[in-house]
Amino acid sequence: MPVNTRSWRSTLGLAVASALALSLCAWAPAAHALTPQEAHALAAGDNDARILTLKKLSTADDPALTPFLKAMLDDAVKVTSDRTYIVQDDGQAVDAVTGQPAALPDDAEDVVNNNRMSSEIEAVLAAANLASPDRDLRAEAIAALANAADESRLPVIDLALSTESDKGLRKQLQMARTKALLTASTPARRLEAAEALAADASPESRGLLMERLNSGEEADAQVQAALQAALAKVTSKLEWGEHAGVVFTGISLGSILLLAALGLAITYGLMGVINMAHGELMMIGAYATFVIQNLFRQYLPELFDWYLLLAVPASFLAAALMGAILERSVFRFLYGRPLETLLASWGISLVLMQLVRTVFGAQNVQVENPNWMSGGFEILSNLTLPYNRLAIIVFAALVLVGMTLLIAKTRLGLFVRSVTQNRPMASCMGVNTARVDTMAFSLGAGIAGLAGCALSQVGNVGPDLGQSYIVDSFMVVVLGGVGQIAGTVYAALGLGLVNKFLEGWTGAVLAKILVLVIVVIFIQKRPQGLFAMRGRSAEA
C-alpha cells in the first residue's frame, strides 16, 4: 500500500509538537489564572520587576497570558494605578484579565516597553513555536529566544534541542544555550559556556566572550581565566580565517585579472597593438551572456541552470567576431603606428559603449548565477568560499591551459609566433600574414569575451564594465613581460594578492594608488618585465 509522504511528515511533526508540549507541561507547575495583580505587575512599574514577574508567569500554564503579552507588544495595553486594560482594534477597552468590556478611565496611561522588555516578551511567546512543523516559525522562535537567553530559558532550549533535526537550527539553538549558560548562577555552567564558545570559534562567540569580560560581572577567578583563554583561542582561529580569506580574495581577483589580460597578451603582447577597446570586447562577452540567459529564461526555463554551457561559446564568438571586424576595418591599416592605434581604439571603445547603451539601455543589467553556483563552501566560521568565485578560478585555469596549448602546439599558434618574430620571413615562407593577423586578433578578442562572461557572474553588467579592467590588464601584461604568457599569470596573481593585502591595510583607493606606484617603480628598474623575451630579436 503506498505511503502518503506529506501525511506521514505532518503526523510526525504533530507528534514532535505534542511531545514538546507535554514535556513543557511536565516541567511547568500547575495551571493557574492570570490575576489582576499579576497583569498590573507585568504592565506597570520598574522594568526589572516586570521582567521578574514575566519569567515567573512564563512557567505557568495560563491561556490568558499569551493574548495579554501580544497586546503589550502591539502597544494596546493601558494601565491606571490599580487596573490594566486592553484597547481593541475598534477602540473599545476590555479588562486585561477577564476580557469583559470596561470604560477606559481618563487617567489611563500607555504601557511603554523598552528593547529589553520587548525581547523578553518575544522570547516567552516564541517558546510555543519551537515545536512548530514550519521551519520558518521555529527559526523566528529561536532568534527571539537567543535575544533574551538566560538561565531561565535553559529547560525550554534543552527540550527544543532534543527534538530539532534541522542542522542549521540546531546550531542556533546551541548558541542560544551557550549564551544562557554564560550568565548562569553557578560557575560550573559558566565554565561549560566558555568551553563551548572556544570550540565554536565564530565571530559571535568572540563577541559574547568580549562582552562578558568587559562587563565586569564575572567574579569567579577560574571562570574569568577560562573566558580569557577561550577568547585567545577564538581570536587566533578567526585571524587564520581572515588571513586565508584575504589570500582567497587575492587569488580570485588575480584570476579575473588573468582572464582580462590573456586576450591582451595576444593583441598587445604578441601583435604589438595597443587596443584601448579591449575592455569593451569584455563588455560584449558579458552582454552575450545576458542575452543567452534571457533566451533560456523565456524558452527553456527548465534548463536555466545550464545556460552557461551555451553562454561561454556565445560570448567567445560574439567578441571574436567583433574583433575580426575591427581588425579588418581599422587596425590592419595602423600596424607599426602605436599612437594612431591607441587613439583609434579609444574612439572605438566610445562607439561600442554608446552602441550598447542604444541597444540595451544605460542602466546595468543583472546576470543571475545558476543554482549550482549559488552559495559557498564553509571552511571556517568566518571563511566561506563562494561557488561562483571558485568556478571563475577553475575557468581561468582552463582558459589559460587552452590558450597555452593553442599557441604552443597548433598550426595557428606556429603561424602567430612566426609572424610575431619575423613578419617578412614568415611571408616569404608562404604564411598569409594578413589572415594570421585577423585570426590572432579575433582569438585575443574572443578570450576577452570569455573574461566578460566570467565577470557577469560576480557583478552587474553595464556599458562601463570594461573601463574598470583595461588599465589593470595593461599593467599585468607589461609587468609579466610583453609576449610572455607565464609572466602574465604571475603578474595577475601577484597584483591580485598585493592589492587585497594593501586594501586591508590602507583601504581600497589608496591600495590602487600604491599598486600603480609599485608597478611603475618595477618597470623603471626592469623594463622587460618579470620574464624577458629569450634569444635574439629577428628584427634587430
Give residue limits of the domains in the chain.
Answer: 5-210, 245-503
Band of residue 25 on the pLDDT scale cut at 50, 70, 90: very low
pLDDT in tens, 382-415: 888 999 999 999 999 999 999 889 888 888 888 8
Which contacts qualify for 69-75: CB closer than 8 Å, 24 or more apart? 69/42, 69/121, 69/124, 69/125, 70/125, 71/96, 72/42, 72/43, 72/111, 72/113, 72/121, 73/113, 73/118, 73/121, 73/122, 73/125, 75/110, 75/111, 75/113
pLDDT in tens, 243-292: 999 999 999 989 988 988 888 888 886 677 888 999 999 999 999 999 99
Grid cell of 343 as nine digits? 587613439
Angle at 181 between CA 194 and CA 30, to 5 degrees: 165
pLDDT in tens, 97-112: 888 888 888 888 888 8
Band of residue 36 on the pLDDT scale cut at 50, 70, 90: confident
pTM across the whole model? 0.71
Residue labelled with grid coordinates 516586570? 50
Which has the closest alpha carbon to 290: 434, 459, 76, 170?
Answer: 459
Q: Cα 353 vs. chain centroid, distance in angstroms?
A: 29
Please say if the pLDDT value at position 201 is more than 80.
yes
pLDDT in tens, 219-232: 899 999 999 999 99
Q: Give the CB-side neighbour count of residue 523, counting CA atoms within 13 A.
A: 16
Residue labelled with grid coordinates 560574439? 318
Predicted confidence at residue 9, as pLDDT, reads: 43
Please say if the pLDDT value at position 534 is more than 80.
no
Position 303: which residue type?
Answer: L
Band of residue 533 on the pLDDT scale cut at 50, 70, 90: low
Q: Burial-class residue 137 by CB neighbours within 10 Å (0-12, 13-18, 19+).
A: middle
pLDDT in tens, 121-141: 887 777 777 878 888 888 888
List for the chain the helix, strand, coil content (%; round to 5). Answer: 70, 5, 25
Please say if the pLDDT value at position 144 is more than 70.
yes
Mean pLDDT for the chain overall: 84
- Rounded Cα distance between 223 and 234, Å, is 16
- Rounded Cα distance between 181 and 216, Å, is 17
Predicted confidence at residue 190, as pLDDT, reads: 92
Predicted confidence at residue 483, as pLDDT, reads: 66
Please say if the pLDDT value at position 326 is more than 50.
yes
Predicted confidence at residue 31, as pLDDT, reads: 47
Which has the closest alpha carbon to 504: 225, 244, 315?
Answer: 244
527 versus 212: the higher-pLDDT residue is: 212
